Amino acid sequence: MNRLTTVLSSLRDRRKKALALFLTAGYPEADSTPGLVLSLSAAGADVIEIGMPFSDPLADGPVIQQSSAIALQNGVTIARTLDAIRTIRKTSSVPLVLMGYINPILSYGSDRFFRDAASSGVDGLILPELTLEESVRFKAEISRSGLAQILLVAPTTPEERVIAIDAASSGFLYCVSTTGVTGSAGKGTPDEFLTRVKNCAKRNPVLVGFGISTPEGARHAALLSDGVIIGSALIRRLTEGEAIGSIISWVGSIRDALSTRVPSGI
């Protein structure tokens, strides 16, 4: 069992919700990532997702698009991202998940990438363009590397497909809470959708992402899932130059909101 699976099942056993935070590798500065990961982990993040920047991030909204463009200007590559992971692993065992578009991975060499990621200390992969059908071509390679392959479900995904995606996923199931790109505000409540996903996905913990930006939003999404993923809201704070101390207390407020005991019946 890798660090990701261990941490998520331990949270589940203790009936606690997971908090995953997203960072763009090499943003805001080329060498920012290791320090940020350690601070966020200490502030209460259970999992850190690290986005590998791509020139054409078509699943991302403006906030992450801009952070990716700056990271590329900072000279970030897959090789440098894996260097940062090795630096983090010298002092931390926080579960690390790499998120990225497929083309830089194909260019690096997919088999080599899976092996290097695993040996650098990565626990799982989220590749949003890799649908259930296209993921088949990498299944053997990824499984050999020991990395978790985290697939996504969306509000448009039919029930039988949620079941199939859950069956093909490991680590957790990434539940895209709204029909939109990263950071987009939700259209109404996703309660019915989250309930449907939880009922269909019996194999993996379900983490909800896209458009969650406040402690209240996080708490609400976590009521019907196993945890939340926050990306754009964190990147926006980094972009605005917010002090790390202030970001840490914001993360703490989300952690607290997730830990609040919830009256039954909701």
Q: Tell which one of 13, 156, 202, 265 touches other proteins (CB under 8 A).
A: 156
Q: How many chain residues bind other proteins (CB under 8 A)?
A: 45
Write the interaction track for other proteins spanning residues 113-142; mark x where CB under 8 A is met and - where it is not. Answer: ---------------xxxxxxx--xx----
Give me the half-sphere count of Cα atoms (radius 13 Å) on the Cβ side of residue 14: 9
The residue range among 21-29, 87-95, 104-112, 215-223 that interacts with other proteins, by the rule CB under 8 A, is 104-112
Q: Tell which one of 73, 91, 93, 103 touches other proteins (CB under 8 A).
A: 103
Nearer to other proteins, 211 or 215 (CB): 211
| Pairing mode, strands 152-153 and 148-150 | unpaired
Choose, from 31, 56, 60, 123, the residue flagged as catalytic. Answer: 60
| Pairing mode, strands 124-126 and 173-176 | unpaired
Write the interaction track for other proteins spanning residues 172-201; mark x where CB under 8 A is met and - where it is not. Answer: ----x--xxx--x-----------------
Q: Where are the alpha helices (DSSP H) in 26-126?
A: 33-42, 62-73, 78-89, 102-108, 110-120
> Phi-psi bin for 163: left (phi > 0), alpha (psi -120 to 50), beta?
alpha
Q: Which of 5, 94, 114 has the alpha carbon at shortest distance from 48?
A: 94
Q: Tell which one of 35, 44, 104, 186 touches other proteins (CB under 8 A).
A: 104
205 near 47, Cβ under 8 Å? no
- Least distance in angstroms from the C-beta of 7 to other proteins: 24
Choose, from 49, 123, 166, 226, the residue flagged as catalytic. Answer: 49
User: CA-to-CA distance for 191 and 197, rounded, in angstroms?
Assistant: 10
227 near 258, Cβ under 8 Å? yes
Instruction: Rule CB under 8 A: say whether 239 interacts with other proteins.
Output: no
Known catalytic residue: 49? yes
The residue range among 87-95, 103-111, 199-207, 215-223 that interacts with other proteins, by the rule CB under 8 A, is 103-111
Q: Where are the alpha helices (DSSP H) in the chain?
A: 3-13, 33-42, 62-73, 78-89, 102-108, 110-120, 132-145, 159-168, 191-200, 215-223, 232-239, 244-259
Q: What does the binding site for other proteins look like in residue numbers (CB under 8 A)? A: 54-56, 58-59, 61, 65, 69, 72, 77-78, 101-108, 110-111, 128-134, 137-138, 151-158, 161, 165, 176, 179-181, 184
